[in-house]
Amino acid sequence: MLEKDRIFNFEKIDVEYVAHILSTDKYDQELFEFANEVREKYVGKQVHIRGIIEFSNYCVQNCLYCGLRRDNKKLTRYRMSLQEIIDRAKLIASFGIKTVVLQSGEDFSYTTDDISYLIREIKKLNVAITLSLGERSFEEYKVWKELGADRYLMRHETANPQLYAALHPNDSFEIRKSHLFYLKKLGYETGAGSMVGLPGQTPYDLALDIAFVKELDADMIGIGPFIPHPDTPLANEKGGDLKTCLKMIALARIAVPTANIPATTALGTINPFGRELGLKWGANVIMPNMTPNPYRPNYSLYPGKICVFENDTACANCVKQIIKRAGLIVSDDYGYRKKEVVIA
C-alpha cells in the first residue's frame, strides 16, 4: 500500500521514500488516484490556459540537452520585433486567454527597457504576464516586477548539483537556486521544474527534484521528458519515458497541492495522449503555442515538437478539447495560485 502520510502534508519530503515509489510500479495506480484526489480538493476541476510566445531562439547558454544552445550552428535563428510580440499578445487576449507567457533563449539583445516596454504594453490588455527569459540580473527582475510582471518561469532542470554542472557549462545549481529564491522573494509567482530521463539521472535524483520544488514552495512546476536532440552533444542518449513523467507530475501535485502544474508540450510530444494523461493525474495548466509562423518551427528545443506544422492559432482551440477529453473544465480566470484552502 502507498503510505500517503509519508508524501503528503510534510514540511520536508521523505526523499528515500519518494525514490522508492519511483523505482517500482507497485504503487502507480494508487499514486495516480491520490494525485487526482489532491488536485480535485486543492485546485478543483478548472484548467488554466496560458498562451506562449517564443519570441527569440537566440541563446548565450550552451545547455548540453537543448537545440537552442549557442553552439548549434544548424539552427535558423530569429528574433521577433517588439511590435510583433505585442500584436501576438493582443491576439492571445482576443481569444479570451488570460495569461501571456513571454519565452526566449537567454537573449540579452532585448534590453531591460525593451522588456519593460513589453510589460507596460501587454498589461494594458488585462492579462497576467509570465516571463521566461532565463537567468537575467536581479535588478532587472525587480524592475519588471514593479512594472507588473506577475510570474517568472525558470526550471531548475535537475536538483542533483553534479548532474546540473555536467549539463550546464558556466552555471551551477547554487546559482540557479539563488535566482529562484530571489524571484520568490520579490513576489513573483515562481515556476521551477525539471526534466525526466536525463543521462545518468536516478530515481533518487528525481526525488530530489520533488524535494526542491517543495523547499522552494514553487508556485508552478513544469515537468517533462528529456528528448535527445540530434544537433546536441546528447544526441545518442535515451530520453525520458511517459510513465515516469506522469508519476513525477503526480508526486509534484501531492508535494505542493496548490501549485499550478502544466501538462507540458514535451509530454505531448512523446505520446499523443501525454497531455491528457498529465491533466488526469495532477496537472491543471496547459500552454498552447501561440508563436507565429514562420518562426515557430525554429524554436526547436527538442526534435518532433508538436504543434509546429499547425495553423498558428490552432492550439488555442485544440487545448480546450484536450481539457474536455480529460473530463476537466476550461477556466476563465487568471489562474493565480490558489491559497491553501481545501475546496469542500
Distance, CA of 42 to CA of 340 (rounded, Å): 7
**Is residue 267 near ligand FES by the rule CB under 6 A?**
no
**Is residue 66 near ligand 5AD by the rule CB under 6 A?**
yes
Choose among ligand FES, ligand 5AD, ligand SF4, none what residue 106 binds, the Cβ cut-off being 5 to 8 Å by kind: ligand SF4
What are the beta bridge partners of residue 128?
99
- What's the closest the beta carbon of residue 225 comes to ligand 5AD, in angstroms? 6
Closest CA to 68 of 193, 238, 229: 229
Choose among ligand SF4, ligand 5AD, ligand FES, none what residue 229 binds, the Cβ cut-off being 5 to 8 Å by kind: ligand 5AD
**Is residue 315 near ligand FES by the rule CB under 6 A?**
yes
Site residues for ligand SF4 per CB under 6 A = 59, 61, 63, 66, 68-69, 105-106, 134
- What's the closest the beta carbon of residue 317 comes to ligand SF4, in angstroms? 28
- Closest to ligand SF4 by CB, 257 vs 262, is 262
Q: Which of residues 229-258 bind ligand 5AD (CB under 6 A)?
A: 229
Give the C-alpha distances (Å, rounded to integers) separating 324 from 26, 275, 277, 319: 29, 12, 12, 9
Q: Which residue has the CB atom at the shortest distance from ligand FES? A: 318
Distance, CA of 60 to CA of 71 (rounded, Å): 9
Whether the CB-CB separation of 43 and 284 falls below 8 Å is answered with yes
Tell which one of 3, 146, 310, 332 touches ligand FES (CB under 6 A): 310
Ramachandran bin of 113, using left for φ above 0, alpha for ψ from -120 to 50, beta for the remaining angles: alpha
- What's the closest the beta carbon of residue 224 comes to ligand SF4, in angstroms? 12
User: What 3-state DSSP class applies to 79?
Assistant: strand
Choose among ligand FES, ligand SF4, ligand 5AD, none what residue 80 binds, the Cβ cut-off being 5 to 8 Å by kind: none
**Is residue 31 near ligand 5AD by the rule CB under 6 A?**
no
Tell which one of 150, 157, 205, 209 touches ligand 5AD (CB under 6 A): 157
Sheet holding 285-286, edge to edge: 285-286, 46-49, 329-330
- Sequence-separated (6 or more) residues with CB below 8 Å from residue 195: 65, 155, 157, 158, 223, 224, 225, 226, 240, 266
- What's the closest the beta carbon of residue 180 comes to ligand FES, in angstroms? 28
**Is residue 319 near ligand FES by the rule CB under 6 A?**
yes
Choose among ligand FES, ligand 5AD, ligand SF4, none what residue 59 binds, the Cβ cut-off being 5 to 8 Å by kind: ligand SF4
Distance, CA of 342 to CA of 145 (rounded, Å): 29
Distance, CA of 130 to CA of 177 (rounded, Å): 19
**Is residue 293 near ligand FES by the rule CB under 6 A?**
no
Distance, CA of 180 to CA of 188 (rounded, Å): 10
Residues in contact with ligand FES by the rule CB under 6 A: 288-289, 307, 310, 314-315, 318-319
